[in-house]
Structures are given as C-alpha cells and as structure tokens.
Amino acid sequence: MPPKKKSKSSSAKTIVVVGAALAGPTAAARAREVDEHARIILLERNTRVSYAMTGLSLHLSGEVASLEELNREREDFFQSVYNIEVRTRTEVVQLEAKKKLLHLRDEKGDSTLPYDRLIFAAGASSLHPIGLKAAENFRYFRTLDDLAAIRAQLDSGARRFVILGGGSMGAEALDGLVRGGADVTLVEKKLRFLPDYAPEISSIATAAQEHKARIVAGFKHTDFEYKDNRIVAVKVDGMRIDTDFVVGAIGVRPRTELLKKAGVRLLGDGSIAVNERCETNVKDVYACSICVSVPDGKEHVYIPQAAVSDKTAQVAGENAAGGKAVLRSMTASQIIRLPGIEVGRVGLTCSQAMRKFGKANIGSVFVHGRNTEPYMPGSEGISLKLFYHRKKKQVIALEAAGKDIKSRLDTVAAALAGGLTLNQLAMLDLAYTPAYGTARDALNVAATVALQKEAGLTATTSYEEIRAARAKYFVVDVSLKARHAGFHDMHIPLERLRESTGQLAEKFKKSRAKIVATLSESGRRGHLAMRILKARGFTAVNILGGKKTS
C-alpha cells in the first residue's frame, strides 16, 4: 500500500526569509530541502537575488565576463527549482513579533504578511566614509549593482581608482581593479594595510604590491575635492590623490534596527546574538548572515564573512523548517587573493586571543617555508605566523602569506575544530610529494619552533624591539654573504661561527650591548647560530623571520 500523502493544508507553514543576498537564498533553499510543503517567501529590498557576494573582484578583473555568469541562480531559478516566492523591491518596515506579522512596502504600496517562522538575513550596511558627500563617481564594494557601476567606469576608460579601506574588502577590490587594468591607490586609516593581521604578514602583503598598487596607511584626516558632483581628488593628511572613481570598502555595520524595535537581543556592535541553532531570543525568529554574532563558549563573536553567512544560513533554514541542525566550530577562516601573493588567516586575531585568554598565555612564532621542494621549478616561499596557548600548548590561530597557502589554513581550521596541540601539529602526517609540498611542511616547522620556544631551546626578538632599543642589541649577520649593511654590527657566516666566537666576544664587549641578536635570510640559520652562541655562554636571541621581514 502506498504511503498516505500529507495534507498540505494541515501541515503547511509559512516561512518568510528577509534578505536575498547570499545567506537569505541559502536559508530558503535549505528550508525547502527539509520541508517540501511549506510556503517559503523570500523578500529583498534591492533589485535582485544574489548568491555572488564573494566573487565581485572576479568581474572587475575580467575573469568572470558578465554578471549573468556571476549570478546564475536568480529569481526564476528559486521559483522554478525550489518553489520559493521571490519578491524584490520589497522592504520590511515593521515586525510585530507577538502577532507574527510583517509590515511591507513595495511599488504598489503598503501591505502585511503573516508568518509561522521568520528567518532574518538582512546582512549589513556599508560604513560611509566620514566627510564624503553624495557623488556620481562613488560606490560601495558590496552588491552586484555596485559592481555593475564600477565595471562600467572601467569599460568607459576610467583608470585612476581610490579605494577607501584596507581590510579584507578593500584588498579584494584592489585585486580586481589591478587585474582589470586600473591604476589603484588604497588608503587605510589604521597603521597598516590589512590591520587585523600581524605586522609581519601585513608587511609581506604590502611589499608584494609595491609595483602593482599604491598603499597609503596610517593617516589622520581625509578630505574630498569635488567638481560638478564628482570627486576629483582625495586628500590624505594634505596629500592630494587625483581620481576618476572612489570605491568605499571601510567596513560594515549589521542591519538590525528592525529587530531591535521588535525586542530581539542585540549586542553592542548591533549584531544579533543567536544560539547554536541560530535562534534569537524571540520565539520562531531565526537569524543568519553577517548581521549575527555566533556563540563562542560563553561569549559571542562577530565574523562578517561569507563562509559564516553560509553556515548560519544552512542552520537557520533547516531549523525554521523543523530540523535539528547546530552550528559547529566557527574559525573565521579567510583567504584573500592579491596581485602576486595570497594572504589568509584562521582562528582568533591576536587582540581577540589576548582578550579571551590573557596576554601572558598567548605565544607566537613566525617562520618561512616553501610551497614545494626548493628544487622544483616555480617553488615559492610561504610565511606563517602561528599563535598558541602557552600553558595548554594548543593551537589558537594561523596567519599565512605566499603561494598555495589554502591547504595550511584548512589544516589549522580542522586542528582548531579538533583541539589539536602543538605536539600533534608538529608531527601531523600531511600529504607529500615534491611537486606539491615539502617533506616537513611549514606547518610542522612552525609547531616545532613553538615547542622549542616554550622549552627554552630558542629565543626570538623582532625588528620593532631592536629598533626601539638598538643599543641593547649586537646584531650578527650569519648569512653566507652579508646583505644587511647598515643594520648589522658584524658579519660571521654560520659556517665559521664556532671558530670566530672569540672575535665576536671581543667586539660584543666593546659595544656595551647586552644581547647578541642573530640575523639570517629566513631565520633558520639565525636559530642555529643562536643555539651555538647560547652553548658558549652568550645571551643570544634570533631575529624573528630573518631578513624577509625587515
């Protein structure tokens, strides 16, 4: 006997999804996969449904030729494949949570829409640059409509672009515009490009752009010069930068005012505090996308990234339809393609880690390695900064720069989810063949160095520490050939160090310095030199990262 069909009238519920950029469509699709009979309505105040909020730079670069390729799954796709009602140009003006009622406004006027379950996926709004007036040659780097406007300027011959903001969003805009043939200047108010990254990684990323784009960071004031409703120049602390077009990428703010008025709990940054099921504190109201903060132990953390939007959307969509999905480890994994280099990170930032665990408990090491064996054609360097908990010897985060870094980031993402220790990471048996890696991967090396540091087998310092107290350090370049003239006090190749310690001791004593700092190309020879000197009674440290981070 065939199974009885469910009565649609008795079981069907109405699930309304607010917001149709990336997270909203994902949540709606997931809800349909769980419940075939529900009425699912997707609301969007802008002109189109979009999955493609993370590939914007690829259209600017010309690698994705059209917006249609970038965004194939549009309104008609969701209607025909998922049987989802899509309403664009429709704004939600009020939520009455107790009545489970939405007040809407569209081109036809005002209306109301009842729901059984609500998924809020309105995302975030772009932060507006202070002092910038409305101008026809300014757009944010957020939506497909923004992208179309920026691409039209490139196609019309505009070449001088100024990007406001040097975080991940600004970096992606830089990559797309440079590859698209633009003359790009990026301005970042904080001290460094990619300010959430460690100084070593930020410096490597900045140096890689030297002949590709201009980066201006660490300023106080920005002004704009206009002519006929167009920005003709951006002034940074008085320095004038002529421009044809300005792109805003300084950050985002959660778009959650609607929920605040309805009694949904928000955090200080305006994000929605959801639980592991992506539920809010209001019954039958779920939330996802870059307007939510996800649970992290007893705290919540705001991670405005596409991967987190996707994960929260899957959980919110499934549970709104009656499922039992839960969020797992959110590691804030990120990778950015830049001209000539890749940069990425996974886990807490250094400042987040210090707030969570305390500064004294945070250790870090910085190492250089290769993406393949050095003898392979095209072998390139990679640089890793590994953060760990000193007492627990547990991995906290990784930052990376170079080529083929994704596998290292993914490995640490899994390590964080599994609670791996430094000992486990140091001996982790990773896939190896000379064309794709090294027998001892840079990740193994980083974990090993961290263990040595905690065991007192190595000691490091940074260029910043040496510059801040230069007289305290006697710098010895142990490279085969001296290549750091003007910085080191003495050059002794590592191969001759043991036989030259007497000469070194004499000069060190005359210098009245307190510590010998060893210097080499990548830090490896410096570490070996430091061990030799410590064994002979010198107070010695190795300069972190060697010459590559100078």
Question: Residue written as tokens 């059209």?
Answer: 66
- Whether the Cβ atoms of residue 175 and residue 205 lie closer than 8 Å to each other: no
Residues 239 and 268 in one domain: no
Residue 452 DSSP class: H
Residues 450 and 465 in one domain: no
Would 284 be classed as within a structural domain?
Answer: yes
Mean pLDDT, rounded, for 516-540: 92
Amino acid letter, residue 423: N
Q: Give the predicted TM-score (pTM) of the model.
A: 0.87
**pLDDT on residue 485:** 64
Angle at 172 between CA 167 and CA 178, to 5 degrees: 120
Lowest-pLDDT range, 6-10, 244-248, 339-343, 404-408? 6-10
The domain that holds 243 is classified in CATH as 3.50.50.60
Among candidate residues 275, 279, 425, the one with its CA nearest the CA of residue 347: 425
Would 327 be classed as within a structural domain?
Answer: no
Q: Examine the pLDDT at 53 and tell me if it is beyond 60.
A: no
Lowest-pLDDT range, 50-54, 491-495, 537-541? 50-54
Residues 116 and 260 in one domain: yes
- Please report, in angstroms and rounded to a whole number, the separation of the first and last CA atoms in the chain: 77
pLDDT band for position 494 (cuts 50, 70, 90): very high
Residues 363 and 396 in one domain: yes
Residues 76 and 159 in one domain: no
Residues 244 and 260 in one domain: no
**pLDDT on residue 10:** 45
Residues 120 and 258 in one domain: yes
**What's the Cα-to-Cα distance from 266 to each of 79, 273, 319, rounded to whole Å?**
33, 6, 21
Would 5 be classed as within a structural domain?
Answer: no
Q: List Cβ neighbours of 220 (8 Å cut-off, separation of 6 or more).
A: 189, 237
Mean pLDDT, rounded, for 361-381: 92
pLDDT in tens, 272-287: 999 999 999 999 999 9
pLDDT in tens, 429-476: 999 999 999 999 999 999 999 999 999 888 889 888 998 999 999 999
Task: Quote the CA–CA distance of 27 and 317 in Å, as a whole number.
Answer: 4
Would 483 be classed as within a structural domain?
Answer: yes
Residues 20 and 110 in one domain: yes
Would 44 be classed as within a structural domain?
Answer: yes
Q: Examine the pLDDT at 161 and tell me if it is beyond 50.
A: yes
Length of the chain: 550
Last residue of a domain, one of 408, 439, 454: 454
Last residue of a domain, one of 200, 232, 250: 250
Q: Examine the pLDDT at 550 and tell me if it is beyond 70.
A: no
Q: Which residues sit opposite 490 in a β-bridge?
A: 476
Last residue of a domain, one of 405, 438, 454: 454
**pLDDT on residue 9:** 44
Q: Examine the pLDDT at 312 and tell me if it is beyond 90.
A: yes
- Whether the Cβ atoms of residue 259 and residue 266 lie closer than 8 Å to each other: yes
pLDDT band for position 6 (cuts 50, 70, 90): very low
Strands in 540-543's sheet, in edge-to-edge order, are 460-461, 540-543, 515-519, 473-477, 490-491
**Beta strands in 281-439, from DSSP E residues, in sequence order:** 285-287, 292-296, 299-302, 334-338, 341-347, 362-370, 381-389, 394-402
Residues 168 and 239 in one domain: yes
**pLDDT on residue 490:** 94
Helix/strand/coil for 127: coil
Residues 445 and 496 in one domain: no
**What's the Cα-to-Cα distance from 258 to each of 91, 504, 547, rounded to whole Å?**
11, 69, 52
Would 332 be classed as within a structural domain?
Answer: no
CB atoms within 10 A of CB 217: 18
Mean pLDDT, rounded, for 126-133: 92
Q: List Cβ neighbours of 471 (8 Å cut-off, separation of 6 or more).
A: 512, 513
Would 469 be classed as within a structural domain?
Answer: yes
The domain that holds 418 is classified in CATH as 3.30.390.30
Question: Residue written as tokens 């670069």?
Answer: 61
Q: How many domains does the chain have?
A: 4
Task: Quote the CA–CA distance of 216 and 192 in Å, as a whole number.
Answer: 9
Lowest-pLDDT range, 71-75, 245-249, 255-259, 375-379? 71-75
> For residue 384, what are the domain limits?
340-454
pLDDT band for position 400 (cuts 50, 70, 90): very high
Would 501 be classed as within a structural domain?
Answer: yes
**pLDDT on residue 484:** 66
Residues 21 and 34 in one domain: yes
pLDDT band for position 51 (cuts 50, 70, 90): low
Residues 386 and 533 in one domain: no
pLDDT band for position 482 (cuts 50, 70, 90): confident
Q: What is the DSSP string of 12-64?
A: --EEEEE--BSHHHHHHHHHHHH-SSSEEEEE-SSS--BS-SS-HHHHHTTSS
Mean pLDDT, rounded, for 85-112: 95
pLDDT in tens, 318-370: 999 999 999 987 888 999 999 999 999 999 888 888 888 899 999 999 999 99
pLDDT band for position 72 (cuts 50, 70, 90): low
**pLDDT on residue 11:** 62
pLDDT band for position 209 (cuts 50, 70, 90): very high
pLDDT in tens, 530-547: 999 999 999 999 998 777
Amino acid letter, residue 253: R
The domain that holds 512 is classified in CATH as 3.40.250.10
Q: What is the mean pLDDT of the chain?
A: 91
